[in-house]
């Protein structure tokens, strides 16, 4: 079991990370997507990847103007020009449109998908279709995109093997809304407006969605492991640690600023953990793991408990129910991948 005591947290937070050259490689011929790449960890990870010359590097950003600024920033810095494609994870329609565009213009295969985009709000907010926003963007939209792009990941060359990397957080150890995770209908409980408005619920929400990233990725990984013929596609989660970025833009507080000043990694340092998860040679063929400070670590107590495993299975089933309703065609996509029965 892994409780993550404060001194352990600080140990990992201050642990020097490997330099990018430790896992730099020639990405010629590879197609890579980084979500939320207009700023923060996604932008810095994309900058590192650009220097390795992929065939296609797509910055999947919700705001075209900000995404194009990131394209120019990376081009001026590295000489490599990525592409900006619009993707709003708060909209099932946008995810579907993005995947359809990839089908037309992506070149048929996807070598690396880094699902980095996320939001953190202190209060209850909803997307246009009524889903609580963190639940929608951080879990539902992220899961939708991964499943929608699965055919292209599975089509990537088996050597050394495609990778799905989902960015999570150490918050999943401490605050994750245990009551909701143990409830009969997990997503409905989390989306219940009255419950969301109760004192203490929303402060747990970001951590809950980051726990869901781990549970869902584990469920996907275990299903990938049973595919016939076998696939080399791996699905892992990575915690970048506490880093300077605009993630806390909606939560200005002097204590948070002080904590950042004392303990936060630079955005560039944090981004190395994403690139490590996407490229490190020791991770070829390794799936279903949680990475922290560029090392494989045990995730939180709840994840490894029987209750957590049960919650992970429920989450898989309920998420697919929601996604199939939002996009009926997704069922056919998953059937073609061997993840759904006829
Ligand atoms: N920073 C930390 O201390 C820390 C610690 C642990 C984990 N993480 C994780 O690291 C990842 C990156 O976060 P960050 O710190 O770099 O935060 P950030 O600077 O706020 O970047 C988040 C990115 O996600 C994008 N995004 C937000 N909502 C979106 C949507 N609906 N559709 C598409 N993209 C959307 C943002 O786009 P806009 O600019 O348009 O909003 C932005 O590009 C997140 O998964 C976060 O949970 C961060």
3-state secondary structure 229-261: CCCCCEEEEEECCCECCCCCCCCCCHHHHHHHH
Does the beta carbon of 62 lie inside 6 Å of ligand 1? yes
Cα 22 from Cα 30, distance rounded (Å): 19
Q: Please identify every stretch of the chain with a pLDDT value under 70, giving residue numbers as ranges.
A: 1-3
Does the beta carbon of 119 lie inside 6 Å of ligand 1? yes
Does the beta carbon of 269 lie inside 6 Å of ligand 1? no
pLDDT at residue 2 in the model:
57
Domains of the chain: 6-325 (3.40.50.720)
Q: Spell out the residues 6+ positions from residue 255 whose beta carbon is closer than 8 angstroms to its own.
A: none
Of 9, 206, 261, 290, the catalytic one is 206
Please tell me the distance between residue 332's alpha carbon and the centre of ligand 1 in angstroms. Answer: 30
Ligand 1, atom 5, lies closest to the CA of 242
pLDDT at residue 278 in the model:
98
Tell me the angle at which helices 306-326 and 329-337 cross, rounded to the nearest 10 degrees: 130
Encoding tokens for residue 309?
């495993």
Reduced DSSP (H G I as helix, E B as strand, rest coil) percent helix, strand, coil of the chain, to 5: 50, 10, 35
Q: Is 290 labeled as catalytic in the residue annotation?
A: no
Cα 114 from Cα 57, distance rounded (Å): 11
Q: Spell out the residues 6+ positions from residue 199 whose beta carbon is closer than 8 angstroms to its own.
A: none
Sign of CA dihedral 49, 51, 57, 60: positive
Which DSSP helix (H) or strand (E) runs through 97? helix 92-105
Please tell me the distance between residue 235's alpha carbon and the centre of ligand 1 in angstroms. Answer: 19
Q: Which ligand 1 atom sits nearest the alpha carbon of residue 62?
A: 33
pLDDT at residue 1 in the model:
43
- The answer, yes or no, to whether the previous bond of 160 is cis (omega within 30 of 0) is yes
**Residue 53 in contact with residue 28, Cβ under 8 Å?**
yes
Ligand 1, atom 36, lies closest to the CA of 36
């Amino acid at each position: 079991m892994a409780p993550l005591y404060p001194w352990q947290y600080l140990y990992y937070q201050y642990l020097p990370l490997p330099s990018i050259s430790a896992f730099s490689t020639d990405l010629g011929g590879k197609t890579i997507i980084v979500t939320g790449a207009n700023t923060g960890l996604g932008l810095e990870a994309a900058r590192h990847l650009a220097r390795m010359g992929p065939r296609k590097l797509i910055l999947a950003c919700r705001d075209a103007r900000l995404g194009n600024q990131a394209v120019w920033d990376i081009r001026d810095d590295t000489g490599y020009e990525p592409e900006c494609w619009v993707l709003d994870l708060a909209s099932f329609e946008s995810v579907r449109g993005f995947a359809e565009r990839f089908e037309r213009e992506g070149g048929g295969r996807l070598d690396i998908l880094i699902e980095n985009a996320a939001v953190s709000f202190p209060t209850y907010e909803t997307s246009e279709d009524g889903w609580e926003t963190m639940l929608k963007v951080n879990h539902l939209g992220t899961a939708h995109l991964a499943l929608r792009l699965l055919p292209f990941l599975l089509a990537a060359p088996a050597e050394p093997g495609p990778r799905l990397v989902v960015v999570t957080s150490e918050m999943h150890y401490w605050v994750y809304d245990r009551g909701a995770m143990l409830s009969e209908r997990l997503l409905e409980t989390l989306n219940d407006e009255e419950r969301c408005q109760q004192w203490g619920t929303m402060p747990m929400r970001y951590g809950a969605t980051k726990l869901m990233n781990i549970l869902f990725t584990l469920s996907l990984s275990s299903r990938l492991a049973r595919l016939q013929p076998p696939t080399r596609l791996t699905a892992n989660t990575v915690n970048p640690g506490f880093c300077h970025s605009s993630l806390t833009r909606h939560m200005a507080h002097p204590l948070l600023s002080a904590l950042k000043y004392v303990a936060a990694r630079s955005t560039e340092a944090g981004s190395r953990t994403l690139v490590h998860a996407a490229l490190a040679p020791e991770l070829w063929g390794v799936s279903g793991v949680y990475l922290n400070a560029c090392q494989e670590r045990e995730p939180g107590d709840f994840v490894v408990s029987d209750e957590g495993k049960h919650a992970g299975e429920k989450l898989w089933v309920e998420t697919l129910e929601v996604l199939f309703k939002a996009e009926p065609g997704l069922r056919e996509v998953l059937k073609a991948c061997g993840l759904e029965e006829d």
